[in-house]
Amino acid sequence: MKKVISSAKAPGAIGPYSQATEAGGMVFVSGQLPIDAATGQMPEGVEEQTRQSLANMKHILEEAGLTMGHIVKTTVFLQDMSLFAGMNGVYATYFDGAFPARSAVAVKALPKGALVEIECIAVR
């Protein structure tokens, strides 16, 4: 049985999907764009966008009763690989040494012109 998870502190889905779903003790968080739920705005620059995407992810995990420490896998989508270092510097500050497995890929484009989008899988 799956359970839908959502947080008002993260932006609502912009399509036919859930912010996250839980099944079998695993929480699958959909790709988080760097949109501030309170303002609907996206910050400038890959560092600030990475912070916002990870903050959105954190809010959704908190709604599920989890922390960033429960994440076992992330996927980072970048508008261009030249943004990798900026993203990576911020990303590293959200985990305390036990980093999850990660893939980082460049894509042709991201929704709403974002520079970064991040999804994750967390385990209870």
In this prediction, what percent of the chain has a pLDDT beyond 90? Answer: 94
Q: Which two tokens stand for residue 76?
A: 């980072």
**Rounded Cα gap, residues 38 and 36, in angstroms:** 5
CATH number at residue 45: 3.30.1330.40
pTM listed for this prediction:
0.96
C-alpha torsion sign, points 85, 92, 38, 12: positive
The edge-to-edge listing of strands for the beta sheet with 20-23 is 3-5, 20-23, 26-32, 116-123, 71-78, 101-106
Q: Tell me the per-residue pLDDT of 90-111, one tens digit each, with 9 for 90 and over.
A: 999 999 888 999 999 999 999 9
Q: What is each CA distance from 104 to 14, 20, 81, 95, in whole angstroms?
A: 22, 20, 9, 16
Domain that holds residue 42: 3-123
pLDDT confidence bin for 3, thresholds 50/70/90: very high
Q: In the chain, how many domains are there?
A: 1
Inter-axis angle of helices 84-92 and 46-63, to 10 degrees?
A: 40
pLDDT tens digits for range 14-38? 889 999 999 999 999 999 999 999 9
